[in-house]
């Protein structure tokens, strides 16, 4: 049974963010569906049967037993680096998973108000750790101070690179959305999963949002509070049901 940090669960009630996000190469999806969970790099590395590509095999944040997530919007700056890594450069298709916000209350989860892999203060547990991600100002990567301006998206952390290190594994049931940069990418991935016989559960919504894969678009959406366009994509099976 998953342990719940009730202090964090209570703190969640005062924070308006609606989800966590997690980038992964799309070739990991069959394993995620088959396992019924999002596993840590350590668990996958220790499992000789696992077929996956980690976004960060080195796990410079020092927590290979956790699943690294972002709050509300993905860490576009990290994604820009991760997709160029030699072990995944031949796999250009990526997706962004949307997780229920309650996942942050999983016992043992840690919070970093800046990029967790950057040198400096270690990620912290508990409500104080979560609330620090929404502080009026945060010392970010490179020694730059990030502040919450008057138009800053209230759902977003002060630093767009703030991270949540969630205790693994994360149940598939907590993933409620999957985001693609284009409709063509969603259609191709649906066909691939259908051929493998590992389609995502019906509760997972398919979404198209080019901005989710653009670090500048994400930064501007947070800074100016205008959000990003997110369009629901209906799979062939859902189209048939609605016709």
Q: Is 98 helix (H, G, I), strand (E, B) or coil?
A: strand
Can you give the three-state secondary structure of 199-224, one letter per residue? CCCCCCEEEECHHHHCHHHHHHHHHH
More confident residue, 37 or 2: 37
Q: Of the listed 59, 146, 148, 155, which one is catalytic? A: 59
Is position 59 annotated in a ligand binding site? yes
User: What is the reported pLDDT for 25?
Assistant: 87
Q: How many CA atoms lie within 13 A of 52 on its CB side?
A: 25
Distance (Å, rounded) from C-alpha 204 to C-alpha 38? 14
User: What pLDDT is stored for residue 81 in this prediction?
Assistant: 81
**Structure confidence by residue, pLDDT tens digits, 171-227:** 999 999 999 999 999 999 999 999 999 999 999 999 999 999 999 999 999 999 999
**Strand-pair category, 175-180 with 205-208:** parallel
Residue 141 near residue 39 (C-beta atoms within 8 A): no
**Does the pTM exceed 0.85?**
yes
- Give residue-wise pLDDT tens across range 189-199: 999 999 999 99
pLDDT in tens, 39-49: 887 776 665 45
Helix (H, G, I), strand (E, B) or coil at 243: coil
Paired residues of 205 in beta bridges:
177
203 is in an annotated binding site: no
Q: Measuring CA to CA, how many Å separate 87 from each of 160, 162, 181?
A: 25, 25, 21
Confirm if 158 and 134 have CB atoms less than 8 A apart. Answer: yes
pLDDT at 48: 45
- Is residue 53's pLDDT more than 70? no
83 labelled catalytic: no
Taking all residues of the chain, what is their mean pLDDT, rounded to a whole number? 88
More confident residue, 109 or 140: 109
* 26 close to 189: Cβ distance less than 8 angstroms: yes
How confident is the model at residue 87, as a pLDDT?
59
- The catalytic position among 146, 148, 163, 189 is 163
Check: CB of residue 182 under 8 Å from CB of residue 210: yes
Q: What does the DSSP 8-state code read for residue 212? A: G
Sign of CA dihedral 56, 60, 64, 67: negative
Question: 87 is written with which tokens?
Answer: 């072990």
Q: Quick check: 119 pLDDT over 60?
A: no
* 96-100, 208-212, 236-240: least confident range: 236-240
Residues 240, 75: Cα–Cα separation, whole Å = 35
How many Å apart are CA 22 and CA 5, to the nearest integer?
21
Task: Verify whether residue 230 is a known catalytic residue.
Answer: no
The conformation of residue 125, written as its DSSP 8-state character, comes to E
pLDDT in the model for residue 85:
67
Is 163 buried (19+), middle (13-18) or exposed (0-12) by CB count in 10 A?
buried
| Structure-model confidence comparison of residues 54 and 231, the more confident one | 231
Per-residue pLDDT for 52 more than 50? yes
Bridge partners for 135 per DSSP? none
**What's the pLDDT score for residue 2?**
74
């Amino acid at each position: 049974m998953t342990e719940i940090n009730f202090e964090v669960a209570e703190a969640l009630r005062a924070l308006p963010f609606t989800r966590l996000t997690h980038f992964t190469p799309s070739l990991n999806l069959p394993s995620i569906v088959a396992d019924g969970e999002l596993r840590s790099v350590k668990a996958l590395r220790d499992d000789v049967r696992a077929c996956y590509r980690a976004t960060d095999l080195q796990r410079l944040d020092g927590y290979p037993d956790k699943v690294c997530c972002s709050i509300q919007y993905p860490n576009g700056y990290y994604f820009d680096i991760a997709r160029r890594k030699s072990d995944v450069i031949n796999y250009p298709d990526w997706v962004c998973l949307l997780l229920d916000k309650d996942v942050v209350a999983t016992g043992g989860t840690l919070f970093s108000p800046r990029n967790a892999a950057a040198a400096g203060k270690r990620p912290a547990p508990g409500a104080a750790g979560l609330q620090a991600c929404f502080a009026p100002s945060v010392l970010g990567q490179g020694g730059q101070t990030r502040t919450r301006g008057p138009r800053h998206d209230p759902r977003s952390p002060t630093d767009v690179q703030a991270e949540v290190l969630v205790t693994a594994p994360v149940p598939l049931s907590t993933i409620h959305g999957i985001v693609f940069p284009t409709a063509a990418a969603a259609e191709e991935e649906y066909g691939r999963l259908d051929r493998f016989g590992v389609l995502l559960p019906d509760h997972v919504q398919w979404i198209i949002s080019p901005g989710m894969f653009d670090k500048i678009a994400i930064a501007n959406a947070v800074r100016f509070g205008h959000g990003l366009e997110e369009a629901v994509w209906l799979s062939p099976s859902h189209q048939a049901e609605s016709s």
